[in-house]
Structure 1
Amino acid sequence: MTLVLITAGASGIGYAMAAAFAASGNEVWITDIDQDALQSCPASWRKSCVDVANDAQMSALFDEIAAVWGTVDVVCANAGVAGPTAKVEDVGWADWNACVSTTLGGAFLSAKYAAPLMKQAGKGALILVSSTAGQYGYPNRAPYAAAKWGVIGLMKTLAMELGPHGIRANAICPGAVEGPRMEGVLTREAAAKNMTRDEVYQGYASGTSMGSFVTAQDIANMAVFLGSDAARLVSGQVIAVDGHTENPDPKI
């Protein structure tokens, strides 16, 4: 049985990942900052209320994992903050820090504390959730794009550094994912660009060669593959699950 930790696992992509890993017969441990959302998740999942940007809380989490499981086989660093939609000169320093510390800092702390356990076991898989915003320039989303690009740089480094210990690292880049979080992005971008929500939606969809948003389940399916032995020699890869994004910034 594979032991899987998923950050921000109580909703959205993280929840879909947890459900998919559990359905495949793996043991799942999720974290989230939303205690109520955690309690609504299946009783069979282990749960911890943790801020992934808090070093002390993340250290304590992995101490608990070591005590309960002894190791961890797969870590999905999924937590992230959308950040503001604004011109760079209008982005507040606090908003920048909040986005980068959670999105990039949380991935770093996940790897930092998972690595010793995985090294001891001589195996492991780190799955970092980036974004198509980590592959392209992204006007009016400077903190988010910078953090997601940073996640890819971190992943590439982890793959090189930890590969000799039998540990793989890969990044998944979701495109526009159907759900509440993307609805918030659509609303904010519509306001910033004096467009309607539907115009922005169509801009995103038409920016993919397949003309479609993706679902959280699409992302979860890729995570399960990357965490499995079927991907035993897949490492250091940036894998987009996005319907082939050609241009992430809507142009109507």
Structure 2
Amino acid sequence: MKRALITAGGSGIGLAMGHAFEAAGYDVWVTDIDRDALAACPRTWTCCAADVASEDDMRRLFQEIAAAGGIDVVCANAGVAGPTASVEHVALEDWKTCVDITLGGAFLTAKYATPLMKAAGAGAIIVTSSTAGVFGYPNRAPYAAAKWGVIGLMKTLAMELGPFGIRANAICPGAVEGPRMEGVLEREADSKGMSRDQVYEGYAAGTSMRCFVEARDIADMAVFLASDGARRVSGQVISVDGHTENPDPKP
């Protein structure tokens, strides 16, 4: 049975990925810093508490995976929203936290997955970026910079690892229904003097499909990118966002 690891797999997009990979026949491993979320995951999954920004944690996690027989698919999904503020009001510590977790975590995940995949002569690395990694994004400088960064990391991985049979791709979600996006909506509404509903409508109106996406839409794309149906797909940035046209929602 093939094995898939999802970082930040205890909730949201990561949890949906876990369910989708299990439905596709994978042995699912998830890691998260939220132990309560891990405890609520299906008992058929292997759940490990780990901080993706900690090299010690990630080294230990992949030692466990190696002992279990290796890894076929890695979804570097962990990230944080970071502050919602104009750049002159962003604290350096908040910048570092967002970049360390979102970009640094993807780097450490790839760093320790790569030797196992090289030994197997195959593998798929899927990073979760964002439409913020494709457009400039007002009032979200740390998040946008980190999400652009994971795309650069992915493209480099695709070039470095392709000769070893390892593919790398990025998924760029748009606005995803759920608690995390609700927090973004509320903070953005506060920073712009708008209502939460006005910001929500602005995001939806900024897509050609006039809708948010759901976590399962991202998960389904991850399963496809890991499959033999995508065996020649590598180095690609694939948006699952209902076609975002305007990254700066307005009332």
Same fold by TM-score, threshold 0.5 exceeded? yes
Once the two structures are superposed, the pairs formed by residues 23-102 of structure 1 within 5 Å of their partners are 23-68=23-68, 70-102=69-101
1:42-89 deviation digits (Å, cap 9, x = unpaired): 001001000000001101100110011x21000000000000000101
Taking structure 2 as the reference length, what is the TM-score of the superposition? Answer: 0.99
Q: Which letter maps to 2:27?
A: E
The offset of 1:251, in angstroms, is: 2.0
What SS is found at the alignment partner of 2:148?
Answer: helix
- 1:229 match: 228
Which 5+ residue runs of structure 2 have no aligned equivalent?
none
Residues in 1 aligned to 2:56 and 2:10: alpha-carbon distance in whole angstroms: 21
- Structure 1 runs, 4 residues or longer, greater than 2 Å off: none
Residues in 1 aligned to 2:136 and 2:250: alpha-carbon distance in whole angstroms: 14
Residues in 2 aligned to 1:38 and 1:94: alpha-carbon distance in whole angstroms: 28
Q: Which letter maps to 2:236?
A: Q
The CA RMSD measured in Å over matched residues stands at 0.5
What SS is found at the alignment partner of 1:81?
Answer: coil
1:85-138 deviation digits (Å, cap 9, x = unpaired): 001011011111110000000000010000000000000000000000000000
Residues in 2 aligned to 1:18 and 1:229: alpha-carbon distance in whole angstroms: 19
Which 5+ residue runs of structure 1 have no aligned equivalent?
none
What SS is found at the alignment partner of 1:211?
Answer: coil
1:204-223 deviation digits (Å, cap 9, x = unpaired): 00000010000000000000
Residues in 1 aligned to 2:56 and 2:247: alpha-carbon distance in whole angstroms: 36
- 2:197 match: 198
Taking structure 1 as the reference length, what is the TM-score of the superposition? Answer: 0.99
Aligned residues: 251
Contact 2:198 2:250 in 1 (8 A): no
The offset of 1:247, in angstroms, is: 1.1
Residues in 2 aligned to 1:149 and 1:37: alpha-carbon distance in whole angstroms: 28
What SS is found at the alignment partner of 1:187?
Answer: helix
What SS is found at the alignment partner of 2:4?
Answer: strand
